[in-house]
Amino acid sequence: MESLRVLGTVGKATTRIMVDAIVRAAGRDLPEPVTVVLSPTAEAQEALAAVGDHRLVVNADAVSTAGLPDSTLTFGLSATAALRASEVDATIDGTEFLLTADGTQHRVALRLLGEHQVTGALAAIAVALLSGIRLEVAISALEELTGLGPGRMEPLPAGNDILIINDAVSAGPLSVAAALKTLALIAGGRRSVAVLGTVDAPGEDPQQAHDRIGRLVVRLNVKKLVVVGHDARHIHNAAGLEGSWDGESVLVDSPTEAYDLLRDELRQEDVVLVKSSEDTGLSTLADQLAGVVR
């Protein structure tokens, strides 16, 4: 979609997918260019400084809106956002929130996993409103969206009421953290299992990035961690250093070893997150664990 430009660290693909769903439901494309700023990357800051004729949609929770045109449409969880989400409830069945827009309130029920999906939904709704698409049409289109494509927080039900979540197309530090928080939240009283590969952290010390993820696993009390690959070993090491954790971490060399380990060990009602970058082969592992043939 050439008329849509999405800038930020996390959620660019998700926002585009959501906007696509809305414009298909509306039977129209975006009449004028729209720039969406999700987070303050260098590219986003340059775009904000030279906004030109593009209409702006900006995440008010992450980006300063000072000095931007009055036509800028803001979204977020903060009270200052024009489109505001509150009462967010993320469960194993999806994510619900209360949308406040132009003085009216609307309950939105996404069939997508993770409270971080709310950011993309708000951005997509803002794009729709700027493009003359009715709010009701945008909400309905998002509520009918059953997935974001293979490997994007994709729920894969398996036997014994086990749920595999395939999120193995990207693995930046922020997206890994969001996926782990979703795992912990939706697992509830069920056992949570995280299968993690290498974290992509350009411009950052890889060891520090992996160390933070390992400690986050512990802080979220994920019950079992399987780390795949030598390059990701610091996730395993960091988790193991947290003495108060009652979970278990295992380091394996390959997706095949991870499959052999988990195939015989998964229990009834386990919730398993498989998270990595696209080139690690862990997406295939998720399919194997769920018995999916594509």
Of 247, 24, 256, nearest to 141 by C-alpha is: 24
Instruction: Evaluate whether 113 touches 90 at the Cβ level (below 8 Å).
Output: yes
pLDDT at 44: 87
Residue that is last in its domain, among 118, 143, 168 = 143
Please check whether residues 177 and 207 belong to one and the same domain.
yes
pLDDT at 96: 97
pLDDT at 213: 97
Please check whether residues 199 and 75 belong to one and the same domain.
no
Please check whether residues 102 and 19 belong to one and the same domain.
yes
Which residues of the chain register pLDDT less than 50?
none
Please check whether residues 68 and 161 belong to one and the same domain.
no
Token output for 275:
């998270």
pLDDT at 52: 65
pLDDT at 294: 55
Range of the domain at 259: 154-290
Strand ranges, E, within the chain: 4-7, 34-37, 55-59, 73-76, 83-91, 94-101, 104-110, 154-157, 163-167, 192-196, 224-228, 248-252, 271-275
Residue that is last in its domain, among 143, 162, 195 = 143
pLDDT at 53: 63
pLDDT at 66: 85
Number of domains present in the structure of the chain = 2
pLDDT at 45: 86
pLDDT at 260: 95
Reported for 82-89, long-range contacts at CB under 8 A and 24+ positions apart, including other chains, are: 82/126, 83/122, 83/125, 83/126, 83/129, 85/118, 85/121, 85/122, 88/115, 88/118
Please check whether residues 131 and 167 belong to one and the same domain.
no
CATH number reported for the structural domain that contains residue 16 in this entry: 3.40.1190.10
262, part of any domain:
yes
